[in-house]
Amino acid sequence: MAYMTVDLAIQKDTIYRKWVSSKGGVYVSQSTTAPNKYLMVPHRDIIASEGLKLTLVNPAYMTRQVNELAKTEKIITGNITSLKPINPANNPDEWERKALEDFEKGEKEISGIDTASGSDIFRLIRPFVADKSCLKCHGSQGYKPGDIRGGIGSSINMQPFYAIERQIKISLFLTHGLIWILGIAGIAFSYNRLSAQNGKMRLSEHNARERMKESQNALRRFELLTSLAGDLLTMTDPQKFVKELCTRIMEQLDCQVFFNFLVDEKDVRLRLNAFAGITDEEARRIEWLEYGVAVCGCVARDGCRIVAGNILTVPDPRTELVKSYGIRAYACHPLQVSGGKVIGTLSFGTRTRDSFSDDDLSLMKAVADQVTGAMIRVQVQQLLQQKNNDLLAAQMHSSMKT
């Protein structure tokens, strides 16, 4: 992630350097920018109409000023350097010097963690190849088009990335811990139940087959949860993944319907993220759901699970919506993060029976917890990407102002 961030920064620096170079430099007011004493070209300083004094800013001078501004703003830091700089301020440090020497041996890119400053700094540098536009300022140094003139690099402090990595590790630890606890609890439950029924199993072959079936179901559910945990770690598309995951869970639970709503904090209501068991036309009617409306709206509002049985015969305003789909039993769990905040709901419904067993509800709860953890991980990644985009936008805005 750090590599991607500094790589984008270098690409941005290279693009606006090429633009300025293609124009032969840009003139700016001397009231804001002092003339570059190392730029020895004709017409460096001119006087425009109305007596405005202007000075020519070449790509290297502009890049250096932008990088200095980035340092004061404490964002991604860029740098240009050379083994033969015109400006002594562009002399390489030890890390850059070794990279520049490696470029002369044919290396195309150097990156790594630099700890010389006392902090972990990720650095990336690439060779800067001279073209015809570069020779306006550097032709006197003997460069020809295609020569390695120096390097352009970027760096970023690793501490924010370490913090995000710690959060992800904690989330993974909690997820795996929950799976382990559920697995041990499931195995212990199955073992104790089979032991308690040992005497009755001798009396009825039918009862024996039923107990064995329960044990096999518990094991299958444990294996399913373990498999899902691994898949959750690679989830990038919440809508697609939740639909695939819940389709597998529906087969295990003998359910025909599921709904996944997510909280839209901007509109202060619920948005249908994924579903199965109803038509697309019916889904469009419930694409948005207000708090307190139907079962899912009440769960999102109150942060508490709702389990409804015998829906077709027991009047309840909350279940009228799912009753219209022919659902006989329905369970909805909140997707709840630490602190009690609800980010959505996950619910399952069946048209073939009037109630769920405790094992069914336990599996639903475990899946809801896993989905919550996966959603938080995706949100953290999206937040980090947005911050990176904001930083790049801020840099571009600053360069345009300059």
Most confident of 228-232, 235-239, 280-284: 280-284
The C-alpha atoms of residue 245 and residue 242 are separated, in whole angstroms, by 5
| Residue 198 in tokens | 């040992």
Read off the pLDDT of residues 204-219 as tens digits, 9 standing for 90 and up.
665 656 565 555 555 5
Residue 279 dihedral angles phi and psi, to the nearest 5°: -75, 160
Residue 245 has pLDDT above 80, yes or no: yes
Residue 166: CB partners within 8 Å, gap ≥ 6?
A: none
pTM over 0.75: no
Q: Which of 58-62, 188-192, 241-245, 385-389 has the lowest mean pLDDT?
A: 58-62
Query: Per-domain residue ranges for the chain?
Result: 2-157, 236-368
Which tens digit of pLDDT belongs to each residue from 36-46?
Answer: 777 777 777 78
Phi/psi of residue 80, nearest 5 degrees: -120, 145
Indicate whether 351 pLDDT > 60. Answer: yes
Q: Which of 335, 135, 317 is nearest to 245 (CA)?
A: 335
pLDDT surpassing 80 at residue 12: no
CATH entry 3.40.50.10490 includes domain 236-368: no
More confident residue, 52 or 202: 52
Query: Are the C-beta atoms of 17 and 36 separated by less than 8 Å?
Result: no
Q: Is 236-368 in the same CATH topology as 2-157?
A: yes
CATH fold of 2-157 reads Beta-Lactamase (3.30.450)
pLDDT digits (tens, 9 = 90+) for 17-32: 778 777 777 888 877 7
Write the pLDDT tens digit of every residue in 258-276: 999 999 989 999 999 999 9
DSSP string, 199-249: HHHHH-HHHHHHHHHHHHHHHHHHHHHHHHHHHHTT---HHHHHHHHHHHH
Average pLDDT of the segment spanning 321-328? 96
